[in-house]
Structure 1
Amino acid sequence: MKSRYLAGYSLAVMGAGFLVMLFLPQNSWVKLLLGGFEAGLVGGFADWFAVTALFRHPMGIPIPHTSLLLKNRNKIVNSLISALETELLNKESITSRLRQMKLFQSVSTGLFKLIRRKEVRMKLLSSLEQAVRELPLEKAAPHIRDMVLRYIHSRNITELLNRAVKETEAHQLDEKVLDYGLLYAAEWVNNPDNEMMLGKLAHAKLDELQLGGMKGFAVQAMLGFMNEEKLGAILKKLILSALLEVANPESPYRERVVTGIRERLAQVADSPETESRVKGWLDD
């Protein structure tokens, strides 16, 4: 049974009970029931009138101050919209509520906990690898190439090269490349086969020298007791000593080498020939 019918039936029962109690012999029990039915009848009628007056005129009679919602519909709607805009949907209110919710902190914490799990990381990397493998690189490569070419041709190549040189110097990439080269050279010299090769090469070149007089005699005498193995060991020590000197951050020789590298890079970046070569390489 719907609530509106239940309320109507209840009001009818209160009214019928009140009328019946009026015609019964009056005693304490009848008066008590009469008061109860009377209170229920008055309260129910008041509630019905109050609720009905909000939406329409009770029994169709245009009583003043009734049908309040219909008469003030526009004012109520505008008030609700204004309240939503000023209290709920403005930037400050949304920001405040998001901060209270700590949504992003919760999400980031949850993601961090997931990523910390090895199986999740493995699955993520596997999915990413599969997605990269399925990319149509053959079709995308020409478009990427054309986009890069258009960007570079629209810019000043010399300016881009100079900026690259400045970034290289700012991040000390030139020194890092130099240190890598020094380390590789030291490893190469320490190789026994390369040491022997240096000794053979030095011995052969000294033997080819055409020096007369005391110089020639001294060289031939040295070659007499200095075999290829000994020459290789001496050259190895000399080269390693020079490499360590250049690798020393406080060495003046290192400063000269780094300065020379940077000057050469600047010359290459400013050269019109370099710009034409870069453009030709890009066009090819």
Structure 2
Amino acid sequence: MTPPTSYASDIAMKEMQLRRYKRYALSLLLLMAATFIGMHYVPEKGPILSLIMSASEAGIVGGLADWFAVTALFRHPMGIPIPHTALIPNNKDRIGNSIGTFIEQHFLNPEEVVTRLNKANIAGRVGAWLSKPENADLISQYILAATPHMVRSLNDDEIRQTVTRVAKTELQNLKVAPFLGDILSVLLKHEQQKDLFSKAVGYVRQALVDHRYRIIEIVEKKSYWWVPASVDKKVAEAILEGALEFVDDLQNEDSEAYQKFDQAVADLIYKLQTSDSFKAQIETFKEKVIEDESASLLLGQIWDRLRDHIISQTEMPSDTLRSTIASGIAGFGQKMQHDPELEARINERLEALVLQVAVPWRRQIGAFIADVVRGWDAKTITNRIELTVGRDLQYVRINGTLVGALVGAIVHCVSTYLLP
């Protein structure tokens, strides 16, 4: 993709174009002068040559008049301080005030702003731009690159306090007993409690196996001194084997222990949903936990873990994360395009934002523009305006020369052939 033209190269190009068109206008004026002078050396002038001489004479007058008018805008013609010349440098403060007032009254007028925003349909245009995959991917790259710096710039202490405060408020408003009852009901409905119970029992069994020798050692220490070590070891192994058999029996859905567990879960759900005294006990326990300092520290650590996770994921993002963010941006752009209600809401928010930010400050914005122009020196503002409109003004000179020649030819014909 071709890189954008720099400001310096753009200025250089405009200066070159201005010089070229000045040469065009001057060349045409010199052509008229040469023609007029050349006609004086023709001894016998017929009707055609007389017409050409009159046309060139008028062309010189028209070209010089427009050269004077154009030059007078920016500087004194030929350096002579003629009154009412060098209009722009001599009136730059008034020009700045006029520009600022014009923008304040016409561009930042509330009715004008609303009308322009309604016609622009910014939400629709932004949606169309975001829906393109390459644009969505570009935005996702910017988001991923900026996120670590933004997260690191946040005040961790303030965030921790905010997280803790919000979490405590939500916990205080949460009725824990019915909430737990609903969760357990869902688990029981889908028989998820069986998986939880089976995993818990499996952890217990694995712990017994992993700490087999430690259990035997504990039994030997607790035994009487007069009991032989070999007997203690056999007793410990028997106890361990019995425990393993009991745990294995718990995983059998037909076992009595398993049935009691199911019944215990059902009884707990019933108490959580119906028993006022049990609910009160849980709420009291909840309040004690919330007021405990260790709970505040634990809640504050939520932000630390979340911050570290966000930074690690965005500093070296995976392709999946990139594509997920880009797809989300593109999907949002498509929704902005095809959802009239969403599009209208976004446009309304943008309109309200502009009216709240730009319009109340329109007088200050106009004054700022006037101050900027006032701060420019006369040469700077003259050069900037001339580079902007100078090429068109050279067309004025060219047209003045040509129109003058045409008018001169017409006047010659009228005076020669129509007037007595």
Instruction: Provide the TM-score with structure 2 as the length reference.
Output: 0.37
Which residue does 1:164 correspond to in 2? Answer: 171
Which residue does 2:183 correspond to in 1? Answer: 177
Distance 2:102 2:21 in 1: 32
Which residue does 1:256 correspond to in 2? Answer: 274
Offset from partner CA, 1:88-114 (integer Å, 9 cap, x none):
578887776566444454444554564
Cα drift, residue 72 of structure 1: 1.5
Which residue does 1:10 correspond to in 2? Answer: 28
Evaluate the alpha carbon distance shift between residue 101 and residue 169 of structure 1 in structure 2; reply closer, same or farther with a 3 A threshold. Answer: farther
Amino acid in structure 2 at the alignment position of 1:75:
R
How many correspondences in the alignment?
A: 212
Cα drift, residue 32 of structure 1: 1.7
Amino acid in structure 2 at the alignment position of 1:29:
I
Distance 1:83 1:261 in 2: 73
Match status 1:33 vs 2:52: yes
Distance 1:32 1:254 in 2: 113
Residue 70 of structure 1: SS of its match in structure 2?
helix
Evaluate the alpha carbon distance shift between residue 179 and residue 110 of structure 1 in structure 2; reply closer, same or farther with a 3 A threshold. Answer: farther
Distance 1:12 1:185 in 2: 99
Residue 56 of structure 2: SS of its match in structure 1?
helix
Offset from partner CA, 1:10-49 (integer Å, 9 cap, x none):
3233233224434532421222212221231222122112
Evaluate the alpha carbon distance shift between residue 195 and residue 28 of structure 1 in structure 2; reply closer, same or farther with a 3 A threshold. Answer: closer
Match status 1:57 vs 2:76: yes
Distance 1:112 1:81 in 2: 38
> Does the Cα contact within 8 Å between 2:74 and 2:89 map onto a contact in 1?
yes
> Does the Cα contact within 8 Å between 1:162 and 1:269 map onto a contact in 2?
no
Amino acid in structure 2 at the alignment position of 1:10:
L
Cα drift, residue 164 of structure 1: 0.8
> Does the Cα contact within 8 Å between 1:162 and 1:266 map onto a contact in 2?
no
Unaligned runs of 5+ in 2: 1-18, 198-248, 299-420
Task: Decide which of 290, 293, 316 is 1:279's aligned counterpart.
Answer: 293
Cα drift, residue 75 of structure 1: 0.8
Distance 1:75 1:261 in 2: 82
Distance 2:172 2:101 in 1: 58
Which residue does 2:255 correspond to in 1? Answer: 197
Cα drift, residue 51 of structure 1: 1.1
Amino acid in structure 1 at the alignment position of 2:100:
I
Offset from partner CA, 1:164-222 (integer Å, 9 cap, x none):
1423469x633422314544587589x99645421xx7xxxxxxxxxxxxxxxxxxxxx
Which residue does 1:21 correspond to in 2? Answer: 39
Evaluate the alpha carbon distance shift between residue 51 and residue 165 of structure 1 in structure 2; reply closer, same or farther with a 3 A threshold. Answer: closer
Distance 1:147 1:97 in 2: 40
Evaluate the alpha carbon distance shift between residue 20 and residue 283 of structure 1 in structure 2; reply closer, same or farther with a 3 A threshold. Answer: closer
Amino acid in structure 1 at the alignment position of 2:293:
K
Evaluate the alpha carbon distance shift between residue 94 and residue 169 of structure 1 in structure 2; reply closer, same or farther with a 3 A threshold. Answer: farther
> Does the Cα contact within 8 Å between 1:18 and 1:37 map onto a contact in 2?
yes
% identical aligned pairs: 27
Which structure exhibits the higher relative contact order, with contacts defined as CA atoms closer than 8 Å and separated by 6 or more residues? Answer: 2
Which residue does 1:250 correspond to in 2? Answer: none
Distance 1:113 1:12 in 2: 56
> Does the Cα contact within 8 Å between 1:161 and 1:269 map onto a contact in 2?
no
Evaluate the alpha carbon distance shift between residue 97 and residue 162 of structure 1 in structure 2; reply closer, same or farther with a 3 A threshold. Answer: closer
Task: Decide which of 54, 75, 78 is 2:97's aligned counterpart.
Answer: 78
> Does the Cα contact within 8 Å between 1:57 and 1:67 map onto a contact in 2?
yes
Instruction: Provide the TM-score with structure 1 as the length reference.
Output: 0.51
Cα drift, residue 54 of structure 1: 1.6
> Does the Cα contact within 8 Å between 2:172 and 2:287 map onto a contact in 1?
no
Q: How does 1:98-247 map to 2 (within 5 A)?
A: 100-109=119-128, 111=130, 114=133, 148=160, 163-168=170-175, 173-180=179-186, 182-183=188-189, 184=191, 187=194, 194-198=252-256, 239=263, 243=266
